[in-house]
Amino acid sequence: MSKEVECMCLECGVSLYLDGDIIHLGDYVTDALRAVEKTFCTQCGGQLALVGLAGDEPNYRTRGERAAK
Ligand SMILES: [Zn+2]
């Protein structure tokens, strides 16, 4: 079962919905956003950051992942 995730372009700010199975997560770019590697904005080719699961509340994973750090 694939999960759709919401990503935001850090260059132009557009929101994109991507298949969660195909994205590669990088480092945190802010406290709440993680960089997405190997996939780029369809509008401007800029860096994307993971916002959360599509339709879910933002920052859904930040608490647990921070605790694991
Ligand atoms: Zn963009």
C-beta of residue 14 within 8 angstroms of C-beta of residue 27: no
CA of 31 to the centre of ligand 1 (A): 21
pLDDT at res. 59: 52
What count of Cα atoms within 13 Å lies in the side-chain half-sphere of residue 39?
Answer: 22
Closest CA to 16 of 43, 34, 35: 43
Using the predicted structure, report yes or no on whether residue 1 has a pLDDT greater than 90.
Answer: no
Global pTM value:
0.71
pLDDT at res. 31: 87
| pLDDT tens, residue by residue, 19-58 | 999 899 999 988 888 999 999 999 999 999 998 877 665 5
CA of 45 to the centre of ligand 1 (A): 6
Which residues line ion ligand 1, judged by CB < 5 Å?
9, 11-12, 41, 43-44, 46
> What's the mean per-residue pLDDT of the chain?
83
